[in-house]
Amino acid sequence: MEKAYNKQGVFDMKAAGLALLLVLFPWQLSAEETAQAGRCSSGLTIYLEGEYAKAFEVLKVEADRGLDCAQHWVARMYQLGHGTPMNKELSKTYYKLAANQGFEQSIMQLELLKSH
């Protein structure tokens, strides 16, 4: 849990809390709930089936049209290198696009990226 300490060695409750949230509420569960609710593009269902390259193609089109959920998952795919080469800068760009629309998972992910 050493990442929960800031540069001055002080325990950072915000970072620790966000890390705990990710443990208690894993991304996969959120993805499945989002897909079942029809909240995102069909690309998310394809992603959950493990067809990352195909999912990236579908989600990228939707993300570029402004769908916040698709922007979040494109960011996640860039972050992990799922279906596309890993690209941290593009990942942050898409997280910011989704966060600017109020997409909570992206807001939380940006906070985590800031704390590391």
**What are the structural domain ranges in the chain?**
26-115
- Sort 72 into a burial class: Cβ within 10 Å, 0-12 / 13-18 / 19+: buried
> CA–CA distance from 61 to each of 29, 57, 65 (Å)?
24, 7, 6
pLDDT at 8: 58
> CA–CA distance from 84 to each of 20, 24, 114 (Å)?
28, 28, 23
pLDDT tens digits in sequence order for the chain, 116 residues long: 445 445 555 544 455 554 544 444 444 446 655 554 466 778 988 998 999 999 999 999 999 999 999 999 999 999 999 999 999 999 999 999 999 999 999 999 999 888 76
The CA distance from 106 to 18, in Å, is: 12
Contact yes or no for 78/95 (Cβ under 8 A): no
pLDDT at 7: 58
Joined together, the tokens standing for residue 28 give 């996969």
Joined together, the tokens standing for residue 2 give 């050493």
